[in-house]
Structure formats: structure tokens, C-alpha cells
């Protein structure tokens, strides 16, 4: 009888309960605490003594799962669930469950496929122009569900809005995570925001003083996406185009290079209707040490007792701020330090002030000396005699001119058919007119000069002119004329005006 019962149980196990293990294929999100749903069945009159979970390894052998992160959370009745804490991609694979009763043991016939997926983040569109709308979407990798509760991060910072108008500050890397599991984030996705050039800047090297003859480099830079190409930069001076490219070099700076510079940048991205964007202006002020130093004075010949102003003039940038005056004494050739400042004032001028003058000037970049200025100081006595002697000389020149004129007129006369009496009368007539009194009238600069001149002794200058008789005409009879009758002396008196 007992043998018949055993046969019946073996052939028809379901009569008193069947042997079965049920495990569904499941997908879990990486980083979550996953529970593999499992149930098993066995004859009700038996009791479960032992349970175990296995996972196929890479060589298809079964590995017993007995330690963390695996934990059996079922019971020894019909629940055989398995928890996997903080599941990772390495936990994906094929799983089996096995149990033993006091009568027999059973293992799942078919393994369960366990897959591990990530939360998937997406940005639409991934590349936008500044001002366009962007939408952020977070979904599970195990299904296409997109309405899951999620949180967003950009460069690690929380993002509140999942839809917005993009600006250049919104560009970057985005991740999302399930709410409550922010530590498990999706893979990163990038948002590329294209924008026109911003913060266009022009700089110079050196940035401080640009010296005459030195080298200066202009550099134009900006923020732009896509970056500005080489040909997208242009440099201008005082509104006039200079060159293309982000850099411009002047190897030997000239004074004409001073001016206002700015650059433009463009990358074909339009912003508020413009494609070209300009930097602020940079002023280039070419610096140099004093040069072309000279001394300006009203007259280099002055009279003793008068006043003289000498001005030291030079070009330099910045203007000269230091001046020193020197004189090279005419007698001793020694150098005398006179004064400081741009103007040297001599009052009253003395004879000892005669000599060569020089000014030394400087600014923060260097120094230079002027050319020498010769100052001649005349005494009052010598200055008084100058107009007197000049007047006398002019009077002598006038008298000499008159005599030369009379002599020339005599030479051009030709003999005429006249009698000896007529010739003598003619000579006498000429003699009566060949005399002249030349007077010098001088306008004196001062009363002192006039008094000095009047105190001089009067002088009389005599000029003698001898008139020879004309050659006798062939038709006139030859006569002998005595010297007493034919030699004539003409007196010209030059008298000083009183």
C-alpha cells in the first residue's frame, strides 16, 4: 500500500503540491536598491530546509551569492526574493534559485535575466543659438517612461527649470537623477549655445609707456561661440582700417603712431541685428625723451642795462619738467651754473653777461642739451658811437658818388666848333657849379646819444677836383693856356648838422 502511494506521488506530484520556481526577467536602474522578484512551490506536506541563489559567472559556472550586496529577503514558504544593494552594471547577468526540503531539492529550470541600466538625460536641441528654447528630458533606461520624478544639474549645480531660453551662461554639461536618489546620476549630456562675440577687448604690450622706436604688439580678444576666426578680427586707428587678424606688431614706433585704436570681431552669429562687435578704444601716446632743445631770445645782441629773457624750448612726451641754465664765460671759458626753470631772466644786463648760454632739460625718459647761444653785450659808449660813425660813412659815400658823376659827365663831352673864349666861358661855367655841401642828419635813439654826439669836435673834409681843358678842335687855333688861368680847385665841405 505504501509503495502504491509513493508511485502515485512521483507520477502525480501536483496532487499534493508541485515543484516550481518562478523568476521574471527584470531591469534595474544603476545605483538603486534592486529586488529580484521570485516565488517557488513544493508539496505542502514538506518543509523547506535550505535556500540559495546563484549567478552565472563568465565561464558559465554557478557562483553562490552569500554576501553583500546580495541578501535573501524571502522566506522558507513561497517567497524567494533577492535584494541587490546599489546595483551596478557588473551585477547584470543570469540568476537561478535553489531550495531543499526535508524530502527533496529543486532549482529553477530557466535562469532569470537581470539587466542594469542608467537614467538617461537628453537636451533638445543640443546646439542652439543664444535666445532659442531648450528642453531637458530625464527618463529611465529600463523603459521609455519620461514622466518620472527627476532632478537636474549643470556642472554639478542644481537646475530649477527644465525648459528655458538659452544664454551663453547655460552652455555646459547636464546630468539628471531620480528624485530621492540624487547620488545616482545619469550620464552627462552637453548643451552647446552659440553666441556672437562678447567682451571684445584690445590690449597692448607693453601696456604702460610706449617709447619712440620701441616695439608694440596689439592683441584683440573676445568670448564667442564658435570662436572668431583669424580673418574675423580687424584693427583700426582713428577710424581707419589697419590690418586683419587678432595681433598686429609695430616694430619701430614713430610719433605718427599715436592715436586711438580699437578692434572689431565677428563670427557670423547675429545679435540684435549686428554681426560685428567693437572693443573700447585704447589710446596710444608715444613717449620720448626731450629733443630739439633750443633757446629762444628776442635778440642775441643787447645793450648794457637792458633786460633779456631767454626761453628754453624742447619737444618731449611727457613735456620736460626740469631745466638748468649754464653760461660759458668768454674770458675764462669756465662753465657757470646760473639758474633753474624754463626761462632765464637777466636784468639789468651787464658786460660780464656776455658769453655762450646753454640749457639742460629732462623728463622721466631722458635728458638733452640745447645748442649754444652767443650773447653779446655792448657798452653804452660803444653803442653811442655806432650811429655817429654810420652817419659819417654815409656822407662820405654821397660825396664820392657826386665826384664820380661829375667826372663821368666831363668825359662824355665832345669838342665843338667854338672859340677859345667860348671854351673858357664853358669851363668857368662848369667850375661855378662843381661844388657841393653834404650835411648829415641823424635821428638819435636817445637824448643821451645826441648830447654825446654834439660834444664831438667838428671836422671838415676837403675834396679837390682838377678840371683839365678840353682838347682843342682841329679847326680851332692852337693856344697855350697858363696854369694860373686853367687849373681850377673845387671845394666840397662836409659839415655836421648842429
The domain that holds 323 is classified in CATH as: 2.60.40.10
Q: 298 and 278, same structural domain?
A: no
Q: 359 and 307, same structural domain?
A: yes
Domain-located, residue 383: no
Q: How far is CA 226 from each of CA 121, 196, 270, rounded to the nearest angstrom? A: 25, 8, 12
> What is the structure's pLDDT at 412?
63
Q: Which alpha helices (DSSP H) does 136-176 contain, by range? A: none
**Alpha carbons 177 and 455: distance in angstroms, whole number:** 123
> What is the structure's pLDDT at 393?
58
Domain boundary among 256, 284, 312: 284
- Burial (Cβ within 10 Å: 0-12, 13-18, ≥19) of residue 375: buried
> What is the structure's pLDDT at 413?
58
**Alpha carbons 403 and 409: distance in angstroms, whole number:** 10
Residues of the chain by 3-state class (helix, strand, coil), percent to 5: 15, 45, 40
Q: 141 and 207, same structural domain?
A: no
Domain-located, residue 315: yes
* 160-185 mean pLDDT: 90
* 125-139 mean pLDDT: 94
Q: Output b/e per residue, 79-95; b: 16+ Cβ within 10 A.
A: ebbbebeebeeebbbbb
Domain-located, residue 9: no
Cα 267 to chain center, whole Å?
23
The answer, yes or no, to whether residue 163 has pLDDT greater than 50, is yes
| Residue 430: closest CA among 420, 419, 438, 422 | 422
Q: 72 and 29, same structural domain?
A: yes
pLDDT in tens, 237-290: 999 999 999 999 999 999 999 999 999 999 999 988 899 999 999 999 999 999
Domain-located, residue 492: yes
Gyration radius of the chain over CA positions: 62
The answer, yes or no, to whether residue 459 has pLDDT greater than 50, is no
Domain-located, residue 95: yes
pLDDT in tens, 89-114: 999 999 999 999 999 999 998 999 99
**Alpha carbons 11 and 57: distance in angstroms, whole number:** 35
- Burial (Cβ within 10 Å: 0-12, 13-18, ≥19) of residue 198: middle
Least confident piece of the model among 164-168, 201-205, 356-360, 409-413: 409-413
Q: 488 and 402, same structural domain?
A: yes
> What is the structure's pLDDT at 492?
42
Bridge partner residues of 309 (DSSP): 345
* 359-382 mean pLDDT: 89
Q: 271 and 248, same structural domain?
A: yes
**Alpha carbons 424 and 419: distance in angstroms, whole number:** 9
Domain boundary among 378, 408, 438: 378
> What is the structure's pLDDT at 329?
77
> What is the structure's pLDDT at 471?
47
Domain-located, residue 88: yes
Q: 330 and 235, same structural domain?
A: no
- Residue position matching grid coordinates 642775441: 300
Domain-located, residue 384: no
Q: 206 and 223, same structural domain?
A: yes
Q: 103 and 158, same structural domain?
A: no
Q: 203 and 269, same structural domain?
A: yes
- HEC profile for 239-294? CEEEEECCEEEECCCCHHHCEEEEEEECCCCCECCECCEECCCEEECEEEEEEEEE
Highest mean pLDDT among 4-13, 190-199, 369-378: 190-199
> What is the structure's pLDDT at 454?
43
Q: 179 and 100, same structural domain?
A: no
Domain count, the chain: 5
The answer, yes or no, to whether residue 135 has pLDDT greater than 50, is yes
Domain boundary among 160, 187, 214: 187
The answer, yes or no, to whether residue 366 has pLDDT greater than 80, is yes
Q: 33 and 82, same structural domain?
A: yes
Domain-located, residue 53: yes
Least confident piece of the model among 117-126, 127-136, 418-427: 418-427
The answer, yes or no, to whether residue 184 has pLDDT greater than 60, is yes
- By residue range, what is the domain housing residue 210? 195-284
* 193-217 mean pLDDT: 95
> What is the structure's pLDDT at 451?
44
pLDDT band at 398 (very low <50, low <70, confident <90, very high): confident
pTM: 0.56
Amino acid at each position: 500500500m505504501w509503495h502504491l502511494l509513493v508511485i502515485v506521488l512521483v507520477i502525480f506530484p501536483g496532487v499534493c503540491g508541485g515543484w516550481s520556481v518562478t523568476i521574471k526577467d527584470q531591469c534595474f536602474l544603476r545605483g538603486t536598491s534592486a529586488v529580484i522578484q521570485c516565488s517557488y512551490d513544493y508539496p505542502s506536506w514538506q518543509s523547506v530546509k535550505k535556500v540559495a541563489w546563484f549567478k552565472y559567472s563568465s565561464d558559465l559556472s554557478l557562483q553562490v551569492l552569500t554576501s553583500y550586496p546580495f541578501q535573501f529577503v524571502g522566506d522558507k514558504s513561497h517567497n524567494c526574493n533577492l535584494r541587490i544593494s546599489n546595483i551596478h552594471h557588473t551585477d547584470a547577468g543570469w540568476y537561478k534559485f535553489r531550495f531543499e526540503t526535508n524530502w527533496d531539492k529543486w532549482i529553477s529550470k530557466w535562469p532569470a535575466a537581470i539587466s542594469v541600466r542608467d537614467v538617461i538625460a537628453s537636451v533638445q536641441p543640443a546646439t542652439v543659438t543664444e535666445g532659442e528654447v531648450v528642453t531637458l528630458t530625464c527618463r529611465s533606461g529600463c523603459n521609455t517612461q519620461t514622466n518620472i520624478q527627476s532632478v537636474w544639474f549643470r556642472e554639478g549645480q542644481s537646475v530649477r527649470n527644465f525648459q528655458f531660453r538659452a544664454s551663453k551662461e547655460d552652455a555646459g554639461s547636464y546630468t539628471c537623477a531620480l528624485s530621492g536618489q540624487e547620488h545616482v546620476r545619469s550620464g552627462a549630456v552637453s548643451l552647446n549655445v552659440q553666441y556672437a562675440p562678447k567682451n571684445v577687448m584690445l590690449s597692448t604690450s607693453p601696456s604702460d609707456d610706449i617709447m619712440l622706436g620701441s616695439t608694440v604688439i596689439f592683441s584683440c580678444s573676445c568670448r564667442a561661440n564658435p570662436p572668431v576666426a583669424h580673418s574675423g578680427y580687424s584693427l583700426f586707428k582713428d577710424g581707419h582700417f589697419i590690418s586683419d587678424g587678432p595681433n598686429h606688431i609695430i616694430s619701430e614706433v614713430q610719433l605718427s603712431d599715436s592715436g586711438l585704436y580699437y578692434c572689431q570681431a565677428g563670427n557670423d552669429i547675429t545679435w540684435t541685428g549686428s554681426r560685428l562687435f567693437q572693443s573700447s578704444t585704447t589710446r596710444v601716446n608715444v613717449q620720448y625723451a626731450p629733443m630739439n632743445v633750443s633757446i629762444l631770445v628776442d635778440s642775441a645782441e643787447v645793450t648794457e642795462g637792458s633786460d633779456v629773457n631767454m626761453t628754453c624750448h624742447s619737444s618731449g612726451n611727457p613735456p620736460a619738467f626740469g631745466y638748468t641754465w649754464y653760461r660759458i664765460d668768454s674770458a675764462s671759458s669756465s662753465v657757470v651754473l646760473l639758474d633753474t626753470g624754463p626761462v632765464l631772466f637777466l636784468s639789468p644786463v651787464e658786460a660780464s653777461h656776455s658769453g655762450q648760454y646753454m640749457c639742460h632739460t629732462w623728463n622721466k625718459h631722458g635728458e638733452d642739451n640745447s645748442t649754444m647761444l652767443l650773447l653779446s653785450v655792448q657798452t653804452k659808449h660803444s653803442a653811442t658811437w655806432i650811429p655817429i660813425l654810420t652817419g659819417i660813412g654815409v656822407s662820405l659815400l654821397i660825396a664820392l658818388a657826386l665826384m664820380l658823376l661829375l667826372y663821368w659827365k666831363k668825359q662824355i663831352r665832345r669838342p665843338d666848333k667854338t672859340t677859345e673864349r667860348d671854351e673858357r666861358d664853358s669851363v668857368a661855367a662848369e667850375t661855378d657849379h662843381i661844388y657841393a655841401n653834404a650835411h648829415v642828419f641823424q635821428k638819435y635813439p636817445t637824448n643821451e646819444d645826441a648830447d654825446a654826439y654834439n660834444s664831438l669836435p667838428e671836422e671838415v673834409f676837403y675834396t679837390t677836383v682838377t678840371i683839365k681843358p678840353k682838347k682843342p678842335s682841329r679847326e680851332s687855333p692852337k693856344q697855350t693856356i697858363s696854369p694860373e688861368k686853367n687849373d681850377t680847385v673845387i671845394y666840397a665841405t662836409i659839415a655836421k648838422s648842429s
